[in-house]
Structure 1
Amino acid sequence: EKEGFALVEEQRRKLAEDEAHGSTTASASTFSSGITGDRSSDYVVQLLDLHDRYYELVKQCFLESAHFLKAMKDAFELFLNEQVGKSGSAETLANFCDALLNSAGFGAKMSEQEVEQYLERVVRLFGYVTEKDVFQEFSRKLLSKRLLLEKSHSDDAERSLIAKLKMRCGSHFTTKLEGMITDMNLSKDMQKGFAEWYKKEVAKESNSAMDIDTAMSPETAAGAGQVILDGVECNVRVLTTSHWPTYKEDKLNLPSEIEKCMTTFREYYDSRTSQRVLRWMHSLGKFSLECRAFLGNPKLNCIDLLVNTHQMCILTLFNDHDDMQFKKIKELIGLDDADMAKQYVMSLCKKYPLLIRASKGKDILDDEIFSLNMKYKPIKRKLVIPSPSAKVSEAEKESAHTTVVEDRKHSIEAAIVRVMKQRKSLEHQQLVVEVSKLLMQVFVPEPKQIKSRIEDLITREYIRRSESNSSHYEYIA
């Protein structure tokens, strides 16, 4: 217990130092000399090592005595659920799993066996976390990023983590995570169906406005699951809303070629079902742009830029303009959120300076002019442009916590109704105990939260107070 609290305090001290030194210094100081290269991940590794050491001690010296295992469990639960910086243990463990499974994380350098061992240890440590629903929500957000941005380095490892969580917490805990994996597999089949449908449409209307790239016949494209319209390869993933995190539906002015792809796919989707409505999540899209604008390196007269939807919209504006004011860029792409527009424009000026700013100020003014950096010297043919949407933003973190709070309300209400339906009538204190027992596998509700949901259920006439005793509740059939 003392060693655990010592690790917690040490991590708090390091995070406080980072915050005190400011964002520039912090970004450099968050890296340590540990195996992961990241301070938060190294902290988790220290916790894992501490747990393994004491578990082996209990196993070897005390033959896994129930008394010693309980003492160890109580100690780990005590310090592991302490708040460290802005993140709790649940969020920190979810980020650690992401670093293990992300192709850009330290897990990509490990063998499959090493990753599997780490996942086993993390899930064992996860068992001591009380806010398991927070881990679940952050894992869902991070998994969505890995799947949609194709950042997962091992499908088997993804399934292994879900299977371990399912064994630990039950099938209800992993329903959404499993649904996300299923959606990705179904999307591959749907893409093949889209290609077959498009091949038939082209055959029926040989003079259709939907031109086929002459480099590939409709039959070849359909066999490969590809649909190419006006030289643009169109690949769509259809996701079930209930499985995936909530994303903001941005309104963007897309290039006409992309609009045609969307319209064509909508025709195909409507031909399959009329019961569902498609909503386009542009923040999750990605594009490969073929670019011949940067002439700084004569050996690379053409490069591929891997960008997200917003970056693509900004860059394609410069097909028709040499330079533009920031307010004009916002107006043409149709993005109302000024802060988001600034993030996406600046992402094209930093690591790979594709755009040049007229000024060097911290903030971007509406009349500031941006132009293509024609003298930029790309060092390789394919450039992956960093995207602000690739990481979980502060707004998404707040959204995750808000989702957890709302989900807890529904879970508490469902537990109350379940208990009352079975018991018919119950004292307030007994009801609180019964509900807490039902929910403690995922989170520990506070008595005042349960009381608040009881009052709400009374208002909605699911239960009522006894006429003879106000602290006694009765179920309304």
Structure 2
Amino acid sequence: MALMSSSTNHKATAAAAALGPGWEAEQWKVLESAVSTITEGGEIVGSREELYRRAEDLCVEGFGEALYERVARALYAGATAKARSVREKDEVLGSVAAAWQAHAAQTKAIRSIFRYLDRTSTGVVGLWEAGTAAFRAALEAEPGLEAGVIEALREACRPGRDDEAPGAARDACRMLSELGAYGDFEKLALRDFRDFYAAEGRRLGVDDPDAARNARKYVDATYERLRSAERAVDSFLDPGTRAPLVATLEEYLVAPHAARICRASYGALVDASDLDTLERLDALAGRVGASDAVREATRHYALERASRILLRAEGGDPRELLDLHARLSKLCVERLDGSSWAGAVLKDAFEEAVNDERVAASFAEALATAFGRIVADEKSIDSFMLLFGFTRSKDVFEAFYRRELATRLLERETSRLRKGSSHLEGERRVIKKLEAECGASYVSKIEGMCKDVDLAKTVASDYSKLEEKAPDLHPTVLTTGYWPAYPRTALVLPAELSKLKTHFQDFYASRFRGRRLAWHHDLERCVVRVFYEDARKELDASMAQTVVLLCFNRATYASLDDLRRATRLDADDLDRVLASLSTPKLRVLVQQDVDSIRANPAFSHKSYLVKLPNPRAPDKLANVDRAKVVDAVARDRQYSIDAAIVRVMKARKTLPHHQLVADLLARLKHPATPAEIKKRIESLIDREYIERDPHNSHSYTYLA
């Protein structure tokens, strides 16, 4: 027990001499009786105020130290008696909790009598702290009692119990906390929870063939353990245990498994539309700093699904890609709290998918075709521009887009079945979007095609006003370089069509000096009036179909040899034309026998103006397929790399290889690899534009 100062002892001796012998003993005898009554659980007889005054007088007269020692010994004696009584009982938690509650109440009652002593004592702990220490010492003094209490409490609070912990456990935890012994129990309890969560994680983390089911099982169990931990703290554990208990759960149940299960089950959960489980799994990963696993799983899923769409059909369906992107964006923002990272992650995944060398060209073609279908829908244009931003092969897209645009423009300008004007407004909306993305030089050829169509209308209008009986000809003049390269056929025009051709050539030559026209008959359309006995029809036909039909003006029948001589078409082309004129639905011609074709006098159709099917597919019209377009772009890329190398070397004069490659990769607008650049460097060395430094083989010098 703590002692008071020596000066106080001298004061107490002097006071005892002044008050007479036996005064201090008499006062303590009364107080001791009251303390004994309290520690034994009885009721004090008499006035508490009188007891308070006696204790105060002792302190005032200098007997405070002795009084403190006597009260402390009384508290310890009471605590010892209670500890012994606990040891004799079977139910240790309830008994020790009840003993502590009784001792605490008694300590407070004693403290109220000796409050003056409690306030004036210096150099010692207060009576409440002394009572607490006495009970702690009494527990420790009884062999195995404190350890038994902690062990019984661990069993009562054992994680994974099906039943609730008894109320005695709550009281025992509070007792240990008030006694300052809770830390010993907490260490052991957290170890129990650690072992339990580790075992639970091993059980739940086992891979299940059904990834979605495995994830649901893990998420449900983990959240139940979180709720159970919260209940344990709210019910009986000390509030300070909440943070270390949750941290233990996260370390041993969440951290080792959440990221792996997320990666394994992300796709299955999205496909099963089990977004609630995915959202909760994302929250668990976020608790342990594993959000990167969710982002990586999102990227992997987007890449895998986008690649599947692209590989399922050549180039895939751009609308499917847009739907996938919109669905994943909504998922990330609304369910995975991905406002800050969804855009970058999805962009990275879709870029990798559409720029895969297996599908890059076919995707560029599919996207170019898709733009042709939505030129009238500005909202859709904005959506498809998202996909356009993903592709790095923008030069390949431009080549295919020009081919598709050429087909659309020419069909609208040459067909009598078109509705309204040339529909250039929608095309120009797309061009403005492309220009904003890639610059004016990127769309220069595309804009040139549209200007050609506008100019062609002016030329055709001026030509029709040339004379009162102007030939029924509507020419569209295309500028070489803007339009795709079209092959010229050996088709021979009959006299009446040749006359129209010559007439327009003379007009054009008189108006535009120095320009030369090259006629592309495969692109031409004609309206052919056909007179039947009972009706008259107009056929919207290609030039080759028209020339074949004109062969039946003067004869009902014609042999294949006659048709070949009249048209100069080769056998394959003539067969395609005849097949297009004798389809089951449009039997304009009928094959009489193996070598004879005749006009069908019984031809009928509900429409007056009938559009005949084109004898060649659009790809055949341009005589170019995807491989040739890609090859042409590859050649243009070579020229672009060559020009860039020359510009850089001309400006820098001498450069090491790595610096030259780095500068080129930064300048080039199309994808290129260091290996491709190295090939072009070797080509320029062979052509003596640059040379290797004779003193350093890894450096180049420009040759003026």
TM-score greater than 0.5 by the shorter chain: yes
Cα distance 1:407–1:14, how it changes in 2: closer, same or farther (>3 A)? closer
1:11 to partner: Cα distance: 5.8
| Structure 2 partner of 1:324 | 558
- 1:90 is aligned to 364
Who is 2:138 aligned against?
Answer: none
Aligned to 1:292: 531
> Which one-letter code corresponds to 2:536 in the other structure?
C
Partner in structure 2 of residue 396 of structure 1 = 624
- 1:256 corresponds in structure 2 to 495
- How big is the shift at 1:474? 1.5
CA deviation after TM superposition for structure 1 residue 4, in Å: 4.3
Matched residues in 2 for 1:377 and 1:86: separation? 47
Q: How does 1:35-54 map to 2 (within 5 A)?
A: 43-54=317-328
1:426 counterpart residue number: 655
**Which one of the candidate residues 342, 363, 373 is aligned to 2:575?**
342
Q: How far apart are 1:322 and its partner, in Å?
A: 2.1
Under a length normalisation based on structure 1, what TM-score does the superposition of the two structures give?
0.76
- Offset at residue 68 of structure 1 (A): 4.3
Q: 1:457 aligns with which of 684, 688, 693?
A: 684
Q: 1:358 to 1:445 in 2, by over 3 A?
A: farther
2: CA distance, partners of 1:396 / 1:235: 26
SS for the counterpart of 1:392 is helix
* 8 A Cα contact 1:83 1:89, kept in partner: no
Shift of 1:286: 0.7
Change (3 A) 1:344 1:160: same
Structure 2 distance, partners of 1:174, 1:74, is: 26
Deviation string 1:391-418 (CA, Å, 9 cap, x unpaired) is 2239422432232122112111122122
1:369 and 2:596 equivalent?
A: yes
**Residue 168 in 1 paired to residue 437 in 2?**
yes
CA 1:342–1:254: 2 relative to 1, 3 Å: same
* Counterpart Cα distance in 1 of 2:573 and 2:697: 52
Match of 2:674 among 438, 443, 447: 447
Shift of 1:257: 1.7
2:254 corresponds in structure 1 to none
Alignment partner, residue 389 of structure 2: 127
The number of equivalent residue pairs is 394
| Change in 2 beyond 3 A, CA 1:9/1:239 | same
Pairwise CA distance, 1:137: 0.7
Q: Deviations over 1:256-306 (max 9, x none)?
A: 12111111111112212332211111111111111114x5xx4xx111100
Name the structure 1 match of 2:645. Answer: 416
What do residues 52-97 of structure 1 show as CA deviations (whole Å, max 9, x unaligned)? 33445666776853x5433222111112234677962111111212
The change in CA–CA distance for 1:419 and 1:54 in structure 2 (over 3 A counts) is farther
Write the letter of the residue equivalent to 2:423.
S
Match of 1:22 in 2: none
The range that moved more, 3-12 or 121-130, is 3-12
Higher mean displacement: 152-161 or 173-182: 152-161
Aligned to 1:26: none
Question: Alpha carbons of 1:14 and 1:438: their partners in 2 closer, same or farther (altered >3 Å)?
Answer: closer
The answer (yes or no) to whether the contact 1:306–1:385 under 8 Å persists in 2 is yes
Preserved contact between residue 361 and residue 393 of structure 2 (Cα < 8 Å) = no
Cα 1:388–1:413 shift into 2, 3 Å: farther
| 2: CA distance, partners of 1:85 / 1:347 | 33
**1:306 has 2:540 as partner:** yes
Distance (Å, rounded) in 2 between the aligned partners of 1:323 and 1:436: 65
Distance in 1 between residues matched to 2:476 and 2:355, nearest whole Å: 38
Q: Shift of the alpha carbon at 1:245?
A: 0.3
CA distance 1:75–1:10, shift in 2 (3 Å)? closer
Q: Any residues of structure 2 matched to 1:201-220 within 5 Å, and which?
A: 218=468
For 1:407, the aligned partner's letter is D
Give distance in 1, aligned partners of 2:682 and 2:360.
32
Q: Aligned partners of 1:88, 1:11: CA distance in 2, in Å?
A: 9
User: Residue type matched to 1:273 in 2?
Assistant: F
* 2:653–2:701 CA contact under 8 A, matched in 1: yes
> How far is 1:10 from its partner?
5.2
Higher gyration radius (CA): 2
Q: Label 1:403 to 1:341 Cα distance change in 2 as closer, same or farther (>3 A).
A: farther
**Letter matched to residue 347 of structure 1:** S
Residues 1:57 and 1:171: Cα distance change in structure 2 (over 3 Å): farther
User: What's the secondary structure of 2:318's corresponding residue?
Assistant: helix
8 Å contact 1:145–1:390 — kept in the other structure?
A: no
Aligned to 2:219: none
Tell me which of 368, 374, 383 is aligned to 1:100. 374
Distance of 2:667 and 2:624 partners within structure 1 = 29
Alpha-carbon separation, structure 2, partners of 1:83 and 1:328: 49
Cα offset, 1:164, TM superposition: 0.6
* Distance in 1 of aligned mates of 2:683 and 2:518: 33
Map of 1:474 onto structure 2:
701
How far apart, CA to CA, are the structure 2 residues paired with 1:451 and 1:330?
52
**Structure 1, residues 346-383: CA drift from partner, whole Å, max 9, x if none?**
11112412111346xxxxxxx63222122222221111
Q: Which structure 1 segments of 5+ residues have no match?
A: 16-39, 102-111, 200-217, 222-226, 360-366
Counterpart Cα distance in 1 of 2:489 and 2:309: 42
- Relative distance call for 1:415 and 1:2 in structure 2 (3 A) is same
Which string of whole-angstrom CA distances, capped at 9 and with x for unpartnered residues, describes residues 95-152 of structure 1? 2122334xxxxxxxxxx4xx11111111111111121111111110111111111069
Structure 2 match to 1:202: none
Q: Is the 8 A contact 2:486 2:623 kept in 1?
A: no
- The corresponding residue for 2:448 is 179
Larger deviation, residues 51-60 vs 392-401: 51-60
> Which segment is superposed worse, 76-85 or 182-191?
76-85
Over the aligned positions, Cα root-mean-square deviation in angstroms equals: 2.6
Matched-pair contact (CA < 8 Å) for 1:304–1:381 = yes
Unmatched tracts of structure 2, length 5 or more: 1-299, 413-417
Question: 2:700 is paired with a residue of what secondary structure?
Answer: strand
- Deviation at residue 314 of structure 1 after TM alignment: 0.9
Rounded to whole Å, the distance in 2 between the matches of 1:328 and 1:471 is 68
| One of 353, 367, 371 as aligned partner of 1:79 | 353
After TM superposition, the structure 1 stretch with the greater mean CA deviation from structure 2, 269-278 or 245-254, is 269-278
Letter in 1 for 2:638: K
Q: Deviations over 1:157-182 (max 9, x none)?
A: 11011111111111111111000000
**Structure 1 match to 2:301:** 2
Amino acid at match of 1:349: S
Higher relative contact order (CA 8 A, sep 6+): 1
Distance in 2 of aligned mates of 1:467 and 1:287 = 67
Q: Give the counterpart letter for 2:427 in structure 1.
A: E
* Cα distance in 1, alignment partners of residues 428 and 342 from structure 2: 33
Secondary structure, counterpart of 1:470 in structure 2: strand
Match of 1:205 in 2: none
Cα contact 1:82–1:89 (8 A) shared by 2:
no
| AA aligned opposite 2:480 | T
Is the 8 Å Cα contact of residues 409 and 422 (structure 2) preserved in structure 1? Answer: no
Q: Does 1:141 align with 2:403?
A: yes
